[in-house]
Amino acid sequence: MKITVLGSGGWGTALALLLLDNGNDVTLWSHREDGAAELRRKRENPLLKGVALPETLGISSSLEGVKESGLVVMAVPSFAVRETARNIAPLLRRDAVVVSVAKGIEKDTALCLSQVIEQELQGKGAVAVLSGPSHAEEVGRHIPTGCVAASRDMSAAKIVQDVFMRSRFRVYTNSDVMGVELGAALKNVLALCCGVSDGMGMGDNTRALLMTRGMTEMARLGVAMGGRKETFAGLSGMGDLIVTCTSMHSRNRRCGILIGQGMPVQQAMKEVGAVVEGYFAACSAWQLAQKTGVEMPVCESAYAVLYEGKSVEQSLEQLLARSKKHEVDESWI
């Protein structure tokens, strides 16, 4: 199959290599020609060090390849999804499948990224989502990984499953697009929080507390927005939360560690050297919590630190000083 991967970051590159290994004709697109030229010259992505880019992998800054592609992978950052979808809409085949692999929520609209893509494509192509615990650094080195392909059109989800699946990259299907995307986006906020806790010198107990109560918040919001609670127990929920909150591959956790150590938010994001999706998702989570009336104290604390300048010490103290609760009454299970 002819495939175009839009976005030459670490994740887009790792997926392009996986699809190439599966016998597809793959082109990796960079939004800048100098970036594409550098990848062609070095045959290595600095965000995926030690992984060679074969000569059989096409690398381009032109979107013309979209015209012939049966599958288009949207691997650009969340803030660039709308513009990119708008740019490919006139070029896209009507029978193409567009796969969103970015993990975030659009800042101004609080829409999930598949919704943004659908708005811009206006009925052209089928839209699916691929998500799960999948660090690019590990996928690029063929470390066993599992993800979920979600679409309201299950035939599209099965196409994604067939095209991506291989011996060390297992893909499940799901029709709960809302649940899959919210889990993918909100776990980045929680990874930032866990990183802050680690940077402050807190322990495993604190991280487990934030992850577990954060999981409850994710699922409560997801159900309120039409998702299924079972989805949050799967790869795009619990699975992605575990890997993102505990690994140093996680740029969100690394950014949180720096903030917890006292570095200003904007400086910490710059220091990470890649897009910190949790920063943008924290704003969207706060907006959605206000809109739905869902109580999300951990995510709201993240918003206060990231956008209102509240100290991490004060935020943690206030979280721990909340009124007494019954755990099961607030459970998402």
List residues with catalytic annotation: 187
β-strands 145-150, 169-174 pairing: parallel
Residue matched to tokens 């100098």: 34
The total of other beta-carbon atoms located within 10 Å of residue 330's CB is 12
Backbone angles phi, psi at 133, to 5 degrees: -75, 95
Residue 1, both tokens: 């199959």
Residue 170 vs residues 34, 119, 293, 322: alpha-carbon distances, Å: 34, 30, 37, 41
